[in-house]
Structure 1
Amino acid sequence: MTDYRSHRFRSADGRLDLFARDYPGTDSAARPLLLIHALTRNSADFEPLIDWLGGRYRLVVPDVRGRGLSDRDPEPAHYNPAVYAEDMFALMDDLGIDSAGLIGTSMGGLIAMAMAAMDRGRSRDLPPRVGPVIMNDVGAHLEPDALARIAGYVGKSTVFANWDEAAAGCRAVNGPVFPDFTDTDWMEFARRTCRETAEGVAYDYDPAIAVPIEAENESGNGEVDLWPVWRAMDGLPVLVVRGVMSGLLSAATVAEMECTHEGPFASVDVPLRGHTPLLNEPAARKAIETFLTEHYPV
């Protein structure tokens, strides 16, 4: 396991104490990559990728507010991609990182899109802060059925008696996503996704992250038009990684993203994966290696 430095920083609004892993590259001048996890995950979610990619780049991997070692937000309305994006810029500022490439899984990809849009809105006299973007199983249109499925399990305050039960619980929710996982794989997944508490083993996030999702569903605004945000990414090199069995991101959406993007674009379908790939799969590795070599070389 690649070693990292623990880094604590203040949220953009100054209200919360947040956490990030900082994996230094073998070269002190290594180019930074900011890795942003999915909705119910945390910084540990990228461990399979880091074990392969670590060393060549400086990898900065935050626990988004409400997850992992970051503070829970007493105002659930702040659990949204725009606020998260501001926190990511605050992290970059705190570490003295002027610009970074981004890798975002699911929600992390939405945060990356928000960051690109915010960066585009800055003065043209300022250098860009967002470099090439890798989006893991997320895009400019999200399938409503998959969103409803996610809304159905997020925020449930499940407590497992032990790690075996936690692994079984993770399998129950994510089994179709990883059909080739072994018992060992599920235990490793649970260890990255859950934490020990006084009551038992629980998912490592604030159940209140579900509140904004429930509010969107109740208002009938479950479908959000992300195409304007996607167009704000024009000019940036983008790689879209898609699980071939993904219910959230369709092949048709990826094709339309390619047609409408003004800039370098690549995509890859990862076999035997739904929403979302771990990014250590051979197909994902090859695509990431090719993309970074061309657009963000060390």
Structure 2
Amino acid sequence: MTVPDGVSSRTVSTDRLETHLLESGAEDGDPVVFVHGNASSSRFYAELLADLPEEYRAIAPDLRGYGRSERRPIDATRGLRDFGEDIRALVTELGIQRPALVGWSTGGGVAMRYAIEHPKEVASLALLNPVSPYGYGGTRRDGTPCQPDYAGTGAGMANEEFIERLEAGDRSADSDASPRNVMRSFYLAPETELDPDIEDTYVDALLDTETGDDYYPGDATPSENWPGVAPGEGGTNNALSPKYLDLTGIDEVNPKPPILWIRGAEDRIVSDTSFFDAGYLGKIGELPDWPGEDEYPPQPMVSQTRDVFEAYADAGGAYEEVVVKEAGHSPHIEQHDEVLSALTVHLDG
């Protein structure tokens, strides 16, 4: 794995996990921990780490089952707690106290979980296109599930061909479901074109995703409710299901770290019109037999997040929403300078 100048990698042993990480900056600098998203790794942060001011000690671990970290099963019923506890064990091992947390997508959910359970140990939160605090898929705006068994969320909604191509280490662009084309179509805004070398690097990082019932995407359960599949109990996609993930308690934490919410204006993954949400796919005719808006509406993910952050502000916290134009699900890659500037101002504050 190649990384930019100023960024190094190593593996750290904790009482939970052999954790591979990237790092930059001064060892005695203000600590910032970067948490990556689903089907990715710390490598997606490397360019940001390289350009972060040197007064920060930046650390980006690979979560369990991703990148070069140890493969340990993910208990979905704990709602991302496995990841959060792994990170807490890592910062303890490194002697870090009260880091700022930066979380992208699923990593944003991990960062919120960490803050809910250890509020005195978090200096600030920067969330890049984070998962809705109500979990991913299958809920109305107030978080009420569309189906009693949360059908339409979790691992059963993952694309089988994409999983097969992940397992095969496919680096081609000969299918819409190839990892390269999924990254181009959904991680990035349509107009974004990456340098071929860096694109290859990100594809390799994406392919470092462990697959299976305990990893990505997890196991699934048949359902009598539309669209016929409900979450199982293992793996990341099930851990994101609203059956297990509820981060709405963020508004009750004390003390309340300042929140910077950065999102790409053209995100197609975490969106009120998400191409990975059963309700939206049904509405546009991509999933058959959709029961309609009254029974299974698209999940308004961005609106839900804003509602929860407004409640956070009403309870005495502070948040800022930054919408990055010409960016999709990965604004830190697509509009690097703009995100770096906003993040640096946030951290300096």
After TM superposition, is the score higher than 0.5? yes
**Distance (whole Å) between structure 2 residues aligned to residue 277 and residue 142 of structure 1:** 21
Question: Equivalent residues in 2 for 1:66-85 (5 A)?
Answer: 66-73=65-72, 75-77=73-75, 81-85=80-84
Q: Which residue matches 1:31?
A: 30
**Distance (whole Å) between structure 2 residues aligned to residue 40 and residue 55 of structure 1:** 29
Q: Which residue matches 2:220?
A: 214
Q: Which residue matches 1:140?
A: 133
Q: Which has the higher helix share?
A: 1
SS of 1:194's partner is helix
**Distance (whole Å) between structure 2 residues aligned to residue 205 and residue 55 of structure 1:** 30
- 1:237-269 CA-to-partner distances (Å, cap 9, x unmatched) read 000111112241444234313321131211111
Q: TM-score, normalised on structure 2?
A: 0.68
SS of 2:39's partner is coil
Matching residue within 186, 203, 208 for 1:204: 208
Q: How many residues align?
A: 275
Matching residue within 170, 182, 187 for 2:193: 182
- 1:270-291 CA-to-partner distances (Å, cap 9, x unmatched) read 1122223225624423322321
Alpha-carbon shift at residue 143 of structure 1 (Å)? 5.5
CA contact (8 A) 1:245 1:274 kept: yes
CA contact (8 A) 2:189 2:266 kept: no
Q: Which residue matches 2:341?
A: 286
**Distance (whole Å) between structure 2 residues aligned to residue 194 and residue 17 of structure 1:** 20
CA contact (8 A) 2:39 2:216 kept: no
Q: Which residue matches 1:8?
A: 11
Matching residue within 157, 176, 182 for 1:173: 182
Matching residue within 191, 195, 207 for 2:201: 191
RMSD of aligned alpha carbons: 3.4
Q: Which residue matches 2:309?
A: 258
Judging changes above 3 Å, is the alpha-carbon distance between structure 1 residues 149 and 267 closer, same or farther for their aligned structure 2 residues? farther
Q: Which residue matches 1:106?
A: 105
Q: Which residue matches 1:123?
A: none
Alpha-carbon shift at residue 168 of structure 1 (Å)? 9.4
SS of 1:242's partner is strand
CA contact (8 A) 2:24 2:59 kept: yes
Alpha-carbon shift at residue 58 of structure 1 (Å)? 0.7
Judging changes above 3 Å, is the alpha-carbon distance between structure 1 residues 106 and 9 closer, same or farther for their aligned structure 2 residues? same
**Distance (whole Å) between structure 2 residues aligned to residue 191 and residue 82 of structure 1:** 29
Judging changes above 3 Å, is the alpha-carbon distance between structure 1 residues 258 and 218 closer, same or farther for their aligned structure 2 residues? closer
Unaligned runs of at least 5 residues, structure 1: 121-127, 196-201
Matching residue within 323, 334, 344 for 1:269: 323
Alpha-carbon shift at residue 47 of structure 1 (Å)? 1.7
Query: Percentage identity across aligned positions?
Result: 19
CA contact (8 A) 1:268 1:283 kept: no
Judging changes above 3 Å, is the alpha-carbon distance between structure 1 residues 80 and 259 closer, same or farther for their aligned structure 2 residues? closer
Alpha-carbon shift at residue 23 of structure 1 (Å)? 1.5
Amino acid at match of 1:284: V
SS of 2:21's partner is strand
- 1:52-97 CA-to-partner distances (Å, cap 9, x unmatched) read 2152311011011111111112x34379520111111111111111
SS of 2:230's partner is helix
Unaligned runs of at least 5 residues, structure 2: 139-151, 222-228, 272-300
Judging changes above 3 Å, is the alpha-carbon distance between structure 1 residues 110 and 12 closer, same or farther for their aligned structure 2 residues? farther
217-226 or 79-88, larger mean C-alpha shift: 217-226
SS of 1:172's partner is helix
Q: Which residue matches 1:244?
A: 265
Q: TM-score, normalised on structure 1?
A: 0.78
- 1:24-77 CA-to-partner distances (Å, cap 9, x unmatched) read 32xx5310100110011111010231232152311011011111111112x343
Amino acid at match of 2:178: G
Judging changes above 3 Å, is the alpha-carbon distance between structure 1 residues 266 and 132 closer, same or farther for their aligned structure 2 residues? same
Judging changes above 3 Å, is the alpha-carbon distance between structure 1 residues 274 and 143 closer, same or farther for their aligned structure 2 residues? farther
Amino acid at match of 2:181: A
238-247 or 3-12, larger mean C-alpha shift: 3-12
Alpha-carbon shift at residue 147 of structure 1 (Å)? 6.4
